[in-house]
Amino acid sequence: MTAQHSALDQPFFAQWTTRGTLARSLEPARFLLDILSPCLPPSLAVIGSKGKGSSAAGATFALCQAGLTVVTITSPALITNRERIRIRGRAIDANTYAELGDILRSLLPRLPQGHYLSPSGAYTVMGLHLASVIGADVVVVEEGMGGSTDEISLIDHRALALTEVFAEHRGILGNNPVEIAENLLGAGGHSVDLVASAAQEGPVAALVAERIRRWEARTISHEPLPHRNRLIGAALGLGFYLGAALARDLGAGEPTPAALELPGRSSLHEVAGRRWFVDGAISAAGVREALAACPFSPETTLGAWPADKEWRECLKVSRAIPVRAGEHLVYPRPVPPWREVATVGNVAAIGTQSFVGEVLDYLGSDTRNMWSIA
């Protein structure tokens, strides 16, 4: 959930908030796409367990730098849900958001009964509709949860970025990394010409290689973009070089790599003489890399990891004060809301996107732009 809520969000969450015992299904989104019938430009899909937002930013930056008009659809947002749909890397304005919501609201009664339209599905479909309306040159779409089980699988993609796959959402996307990767790769198909993948464990790497051969796609090599956090730099580079390859295939310009700063991804902030380091790491390895990237020694480290994350390992690595954020998340034990914890001196705040969004909102950060150039 985002830090700020708006009445304009209601249509996108309408069926989710009233779902009761209904199951999530792709049918409502598929039906909505049929009604809207968008004329879609080539698309680049981003799938994986972690680093998807950074890869989507890298790809969007490359495509924009190549002179293309890009609509980017990501999930979740940080401060406002308008960030879920961006044009040229900037969150859509309130008027555009309201117009999309009005269209969606008018169509919800026509969707099939017995299932509910997920919020990520609603944003995906309406983002695709917007791309069609404005005549975008390309769309970058980040999966909400999964590949074959996510609305990202409802359209054909030209390029596919696969970030590191690990046992995230175990029991939902699959019972092990190979099953999870199988689900994620369901976002692709024979329309895929270009694939860039992060380094994967042996069985997952074999599955990715087999799928690339089956699709007769090209593997795009990549290297990290400059960044204080090694993992974020790698994810940015993965997206950037895939985006650059797609731009070339579309006959666009040649983008130049750059050092990018992303809000909430090892980002630095100074408020009232105190320094803050904010990162969305949710695995022990990610937390370790984040703390290594922090350019100062924090007097206070706050950690918000709910029960479905590696919370024990993250707390052990970080020695953080356990806190909570996000009303919808379940924590393994009673912990205070992060705002109630007295912080001293410089702060490192690490945890879920909900936590990161709340911290950035508290710090007065501007998250409308997907990146800034360092």
3 state DSSP class of 203: helix
Indicate the helix (H) or strand (E) that contains 11.
Answer: helix 10-17
Residues 361, 104, 70, 216: what is their CA dihedral angle, to the nearest 10 degrees?
120
pLDDT at 172: 63
Residue 179 has φ and ψ, to the nearest 5°, of -65, -40
- Checking if the pLDDT of 312 tops 70, the result is yes
- Checking if the pLDDT of 202 tops 80, the result is yes
Whole-angstrom CA distances from 120 to 76, 87, 196, 284, 371 are 8, 17, 24, 27, 22
3 state DSSP class of 360: helix
For the chain, the average pLDDT equals 95
pLDDT at 170: 56
- Checking if the pLDDT of 342 tops 80, the result is no
Mean pLDDT of the region 261-289: 96
Is the backbone of residue 351 left (phi > 0), alpha (psi -120 to 50) or beta? left
Using only C-alpha atoms, the chain has a radius of gyration, in whole angstroms, of 20
Among 298, 302, 286, 304, smallest CA distance to 232 is for: 286
- Checking if the pLDDT of 343 tops 90, the result is no
Quote the DSSP letter at residue 368. S
Q: Per-residue DSSP letters for 115-149? A: EE--HHHHHHHHHHHHHHHHT-SEEEEE-SS-STT
Can you give the pTM of this predicted structure?
A: 0.96
pLDDT at 344: 82
CB atoms within 10 A of CB 91: 24
- Checking if the pLDDT of 297 tops 70, the result is yes
Pair of tokens at residue 127: 């983002």
**Bridge partner list, 34:** none
pLDDT at 173: 75
Distance, CA of 119 to CA of 138 (rounded, Å): 22
Q: pLDDT tens, 96-139?
A: 999 999 999 999 999 999 999 999 999 999 999 999 999 999 99
